[in-house]
């Protein structure tokens, strides 16, 4: 599994213990990095393990961040902030960026989707991680590629397609 330097900060909300979040993020992001490296030929820095910061907070905090950085005054489930602009397939720097999760929104969505909290968090970890590598879902073609990647990485982790029945390819 790919080496990543994962930094965790639990700031607000009723999150699982940090040890659980660290173990989970290592497994999930490691699988995502392995998939990108092998299947998408994504290069990674060779000297040191690339660093990613995960912040676990609540709806109030993420709402403020979303308003400040995206001009959307509402909570959201996950926000990603790449350390530097990156095009998929290009070499990232040693710091990949930050991914921020909102506990109440994540919990509510998991219940609405009939999924476990951990399965939904796994999906959002993969989703946020892909954003750090320049993947996006603003245009239909970009969204289809990103969703295909998410689905395949989640399948590697034993989870079903969050967007439908499964990849056709």
CATH code of the domain containing 36: 3.40.390.30
| Assigned domain for 66 exists | yes
**For residue 141, how many other CB atoms are within 10 A of its CB?**
8
Question: 67, 73 in Cβ contact below 8 A?
Answer: yes
Instruction: Domain of residue 43: give its range.
Output: 5-156
Note whether residue 166 is domain-resident. no
- Confidence bin at 1 (pLDDT 50/70/90): low
Reading phi first (left if > 0) and then psi (alpha if -120 to 50, else beta), residue 134 is in left
Burial class of residue 77 in the structure, from the number of CB atoms within 10 Å of its CB (0-12 exposed, 13-18 middle, 19+ buried): buried
Confidence tier at 153 by pLDDT (50, 70, 90): very high
Q: How far is CA 48 from CA 18, 92, 144, in A?
A: 24, 12, 32
Average pLDDT along the chain: 91
User: Is 65 inside a domain boundary?
Assistant: yes
Whether the pLDDT of residue 168 is over 60: the answer is no
What pLDDT does 169 receive? 35
Q: Is 83 within the bounds of a domain?
A: yes
Q: Is residue 101 part of a domain?
A: yes
Its pTM surpasses 0.75:
yes
Counting the structural domains of the chain, the total is 1
- Does residue 119 lie within any of the structural domains? yes
Question: Which residue matches tokens 């290069």?
Answer: 43
Six-digit token string for 102: 């909102």
Q: Is the pLDDT of residue 3 over 70?
A: yes
């Amino acid at each position: 599994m790919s080496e990543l330097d994962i930094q965790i900060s639990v700031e607000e909300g009723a999150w699982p213990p940090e040890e659980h979040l660290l173990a989970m993020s290592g497994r999930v992001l490691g699988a995502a990095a392995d998939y990108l490296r092998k299947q998408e030929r994504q290069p990674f820095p060779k000297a040191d393990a690339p660093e990613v910061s995960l912040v676990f907070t609540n709806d109030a905090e993420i709402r403020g961040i979303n308003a400040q950085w995206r001009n959307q005054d509402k909570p959201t489930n996950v926000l990603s902030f790449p350390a530097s602009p990156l095009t998929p397939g290009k070499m990232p720097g040693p710091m990949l960026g930050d991914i921020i999760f909102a506990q109440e929104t994540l919990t509510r969505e998991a219940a609405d989707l009939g999924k476990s909290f951990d399965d939904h968090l796994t999906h959002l970890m993969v989703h946020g991680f892909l954003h750090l590598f320049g993947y996006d879902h603003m245009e239909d073609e970009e969204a289809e590629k990103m969703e295909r990647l998410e689905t395949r990485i989640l399948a590697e982790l034993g989870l079903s397609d969050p967007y439908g029945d499964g990849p056709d390819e």
